Structures are given as structure tokens and as C-alpha cells.
Structure 1
Amino acid sequence: MDRQSPENLILVSRDPNGVALVTINRPASLNSLTRPMMVDLAQAFKRLDRDESVRAIILTGSGRSFCSGVDLTAAEDVFKGDVKDPESDPVVQMERCRKPIIGAIKGFAVTAGFEIALACDILVASKGSKFMDTHARFGIFPSWGLSQKLSRIIGVNKAREVSLTATPLTAEVAEKLGFVNHVVDDSEVLKKSREIAEAIVKNNQDLVLRYKEVINDGIKLDLGTALSLEKERAHDYYNGMTKEQFRKMQEFIAGRGSKKQSKL
């Protein structure tokens, strides 16, 4: 454990292989978020984004829940709508983070927890875990993206049902709808998340960062504009490549090809 909030509510550890683990650590309250926790979580992602030794990030919660949302019993200023400073906003910092973020979901991801899950790039969930939007139930207006992101992932009609009825979206249904990537046993959630992170770490890290960025930027655009964006960034990438970099890429591809041939 190399960095953590003073109250040990947001824990951050780094593995030598380039994978960082961020844990929301308030299990007695099902990892509900206080204002200081939001700030600490935002700063954790900002630090990890700057840390060149970190190549992928896993976000999880301790105990029986991923994150049960904002702590409604806390002071009035805890509401996420009050987090107006992007530097203190965990979802903004997750969206700005260049490194791939894998959400390891166990138990409940409720409202703000649901929105934090939506800010991840890849999701692994335990069997029986549930995503729930209770904004409409408690009279809280969404401000971390749930009203806009969910419909783009699972479809408008299903998103309306989830949000307007405040009924749970199970991990199994979420996987069928393309929101969750993998559903595994509770004991396998972190293991599967690490497998995905380690597969990412093995790849060209400059391209991983660029690829995540172009996917996430492009999804906000219409297809024609997004294709133009891809073409523009591809030209910039290849125009900036030195002869030595191009030679190494050719050698790497040739080496991979010869390995495949030897196995045939």
C-alpha cells in the first residue's frame, strides 16, 4: 500500500507490473461516499494518471458493496452536485484519466456508485451484483452522467425503465445488454480484473493511451465526424513516427509472424 487517504477510506496500491488498485474502503456503510472521500477519490485518479509507472487501474469496493452512493446522512454539502471544482470531482478525473480503468463490481453499485461504474472503461461484475439508479426515488438530480451515458450503452428504452422505476439492473442482464464485460463468481472478480489489466499492460502503451482516447472521444460524436477524427489522429500518429520507431514496429510484427509460423 503506497498511498491512502488519512482515514483509510480510499486506498491506493501499485503492483510492480504497472497495475494500480483503488479501493473504496468504507464497508460498514456499504462504501457510501462522504465529501472528503469524493475529493480523495478524485485526487487518487489524478495522481495515477500522472504516474508513468501505472499502465492500468482497477477500481473496486471493500466488503459487500462496490459503492452504495452518496452518504445521505452526512452534511448537506456532501451531495455530488456541490462538487463544482473538477479537481475534486471523481467522475471528471476518471474521465480525464488516460489510463484504462477496470471496474471490479461486487454487490451494489447504487446511484453515484452506478455513475462511477459508468466512468470505467471495462466492467467485471460478480454474479448477483446489481446496478441501481435511485435519483427519481429520492428527488436527486443526476449530475455525474447517468441520464446520458446509460442510454447510449444499453438503449434508451431500457435506460428509461432502469432510471424511472428505480429497479435494479442485474449483472447478468447488464452483460447481455453490453454494459458489463464479464460476470464471474464473487471470488473471481479481482482475479478476472487483473487478467484484463495485465493483458492491457503487455501492449504498446503509447497506442493503448491513444486508442482509449479516440474511442472515448469518438463515441460522443456522430459516426461520420468520429471516423474523420480517427483518420486525423492516425495521420498525426504516423507523421510523428521516426524511421527508427517504424523499423522497430516492422521487426516486432515480423517476429510475431515467425513465431506463429513455427507453431504451425
Structure 2
Amino acid sequence: MEKSSPEKLILVTHEAGGIACITINRPHSLNSLTKSMMTDLARIFKSLDADDSVRVIILTGSGRSFCSGIDLTAAEDVFKGDFRDMETDPVFQMERCRKPIIGAVAGFAVTGGFEISLACDILVASKDAKFLDTHARFGIFPSWGLSQKLSRIIGPSRAREVSLTATPINAEQAERWGLVNYVVDRSELLNKARQIAEAIIKNNQDLVLRYKAVINDGFKHDLTRALALEKERAHENLYILEKEITYKLLIFFSVI
């Protein structure tokens, strides 16, 4: 494994086959996020999205926690920033990232950390994982999508209970409710994430990117519009395939 980023609080490693692993690395503060860490995360996701050698991204945390949200001791610096600046918004950059993102969650994913986990495409959790929304407890309004995404995944009644009572979701509940794909021993967390990444890498890269996009884009619409969107993208893909085949045929006949 080769370290490819000089960051100390956000680490990036590139692994064989096109896997990039991002680690939130502030374990003594349960991986709480400062403003500079949020900016780094946003920049890294944007950079990996543009890197053709990267096929899949794994996001995890070091130590006992995935991410405990915004560092409240640095909250003034975080909240005085421009929330409309999408270039420094890690969740926005995750949502626009074309590459599949696998979240490997151990320990706490709290509030902002919960929202970051919801921006992943696939989630693997350790048996000790807990997802907790404390917005209502601290009087901070969500701005990274938790109020809308959670209800669409686990249902509005469960989401209201989780968010209005600030009650944690344990790993078993998260799997049962469809919030996470797998629950494993902590020692197997990254291995499971890599297994999923390797299965994705075996497939056609271009179609993986298009397939992720149509699933995510279609989820924003009702079924009728989503089905129409699939038809539109299928025709677009067919046109691209026809162009590629024509180009290859021209190359073939030019050399014989």
C-alpha cells in the first residue's frame, strides 16, 4: 500500500486495481471535523473523481470512531463559512463523485459523520457501529441532507424517531432497516469493503459510472420519471457504443 497524500488528518492511499482509501485520521477527537479537514475532504473527493486510475473509493475512520461530526470547539470557524461554497463542501463533492464510494463505518457516525455516511453508495458497518443524529439536541439545523435522506432509506416514522429523540441506531438495526449493506466484525471491516470494491472493479468501468448515476438520479424522481430516465440513458449508451464500434472498425480496416 502506497501513501499518496501528505495530509495528516485526512489520509489517502492508493491500492492495487484502482482502489483509493480515504481515512479520517483524528482518532483522539473521535475523528471530529475541523473546517480545514472538511475542505481537504472535498478537495480529495474531487481529485479522485478526476483521476482515471481510481475505480472505487473506500472511506473510513481511524481509531474508535468513523466520524463524530463537526468539532464543536471549532464550530464558530465552521459555521461562519459560506455554506453555498460547494467547492469546500465534502458531502456535495461526494454526491457529485462519479466513482462508487464504499463507507466502512466502525464506532460512531454522529450527526455530520452520519450525513457523510449517507453520502456513500454502499455501507459496511462493524458490529459496534452506531449512527446518531444530534441536531435536535444541540439546536443545529442539518445542511448535509440528513433530514431528507434518512427518511427515504428507513422510512419517515423511523427517521422522525431517530432524529427527534437523538436515539442511536445500532449496527443490527441499521442492517435490518436497510441503512447498511453488511455488518461484520471490526477486524473484517476493511476486508469486506475491499471485497465489494474488487467485485465492482471486475465490471465495465464506463457502465459502472453510468449505472451509479442512473440509480442515484432516478431515486430523486417518482417511478414513472425514473423509468423514462433509464430509457433515455439506455439510448445514450447505445449511441456511444455504436460510435466506439464504428471507430474500432475504421481502425481495423485501416491497418489491413
Q: Structure 2: how far apart are the matches of 1:81 and 1:129? A: 30
Q: Structure 1: how far apart are the matches of 2:79 and 2:58? A: 25
Q: What is the CA distance between 1:128 and its match in structure 2?
A: 2.1
Partner of 1:2: 4
Q: Structure 1: how far apart are the matches of 2:75 and 2:223? A: 44
Give the SS at the match of 2:216: helix
Note if contact 1:81-1:143 (Cα within 8 Å) is conserved in structure 2. Answer: no
Q: What is the CA distance between 1:81 and its match in structure 2?
A: 7.0
Matched, 1:187 2:187: yes
Partner of 2:210: 210
Partner of 1:132: 132
CA 129–168 in structure 1, closer or farther in 2 if over 3 Å, else same = same
Consecutive unaligned residues of structure 1, counting only runs of 5 or more, are 249-264
Q: Structure 2: how far apart are the matches of 1:128 and 1:147? A: 24
Note if contact 1:70-1:80 (Cα within 8 Å) is conserved in structure 2. Answer: no
Q: Structure 1: how far apart are the matches of 2:54 and 2:67? A: 24
| Partner AA of 1:165 in structure 2 | T
1:166-245 equivalences under 5 Å are 166-242=166-242, 245=245
Q: Structure 2: how far apart are the matches of 1:81 and 1:147? A: 21
Partner of 2:92: 92
Q: Structure 2: how far apart are the matches of 1:4 and 1:65? A: 22
Partner of 1:102: 102
Tell me how many residue pairs correspond in the alignment: 245
CA 194–245 in structure 1, closer or farther in 2 if over 3 Å, else same = farther
CA 128–166 in structure 1, closer or farther in 2 if over 3 Å, else same = same
| Partner AA of 1:2 in structure 2 | S
Q: What is the CA distance between 1:75 and its match in structure 2?
A: 4.9
Partner of 2:22: 22
Matched, 1:48 2:48: yes
1:66-85 equivalences under 5 Å are 66-79=66-79, 82-85=82-85
Q: Structure 2: how far apart are the matches of 1:24 and 1:92? A: 17
Q: What is the CA distance between 1:82 and its match in structure 2?
A: 4.2
Q: Structure 2: how far apart are the matches of 1:223 and 1:80? A: 39
Matched, 1:123 2:126: no
Give the SS at the match of 1:12: strand
Q: What is the CA distance between 1:78 and its match in structure 2?
A: 1.4
Partner of 2:114: 114
Give the SS at the match of 2:63: coil
Q: Structure 2: how far apart are the matches of 1:110 and 1:235? A: 42
Q: Normalising to structure 1: TM-score of the pair?
A: 0.90
Q: Structure 1: how far apart are the matches of 2:47 and 2:222? A: 32
Q: Structure 1: how far apart are the matches of 2:181 and 2:222? A: 24
1:140-179 equivalences under 5 Å are 140-179=140-179
| Partner AA of 2:88 in structure 1 | S
Consecutive unaligned residues of structure 2, counting only runs of 5 or more, are 249-256
Q: What is the CA distance between 1:106 and its match in structure 2?
A: 0.3
| Partner AA of 2:220 in structure 1 | K
Q: Structure 2: how far apart are the matches of 1:70 and 1:80? A: 13
Root-mean-square deviation over aligned CA pairs: 1.5
Deviations 1:150-205 (A, max 9, x none): 00000000000000000101111010111100000010000000000010011000
Q: Structure 1: how far apart are the matches of 2:130 and 2:211? A: 30
Q: Structure 1: how far apart are the matches of 2:95 and 2:65? A: 22
Q: Structure 1: how far apart are the matches of 2:243 and 2:96? A: 31
Q: Structure 2: how far apart are the matches of 1:178 and 1:80? A: 35
Q: What is the CA distance between 1:3 and its match in structure 2?
A: 1.2
The sequence identity of aligned pairs, in percent, is: 72
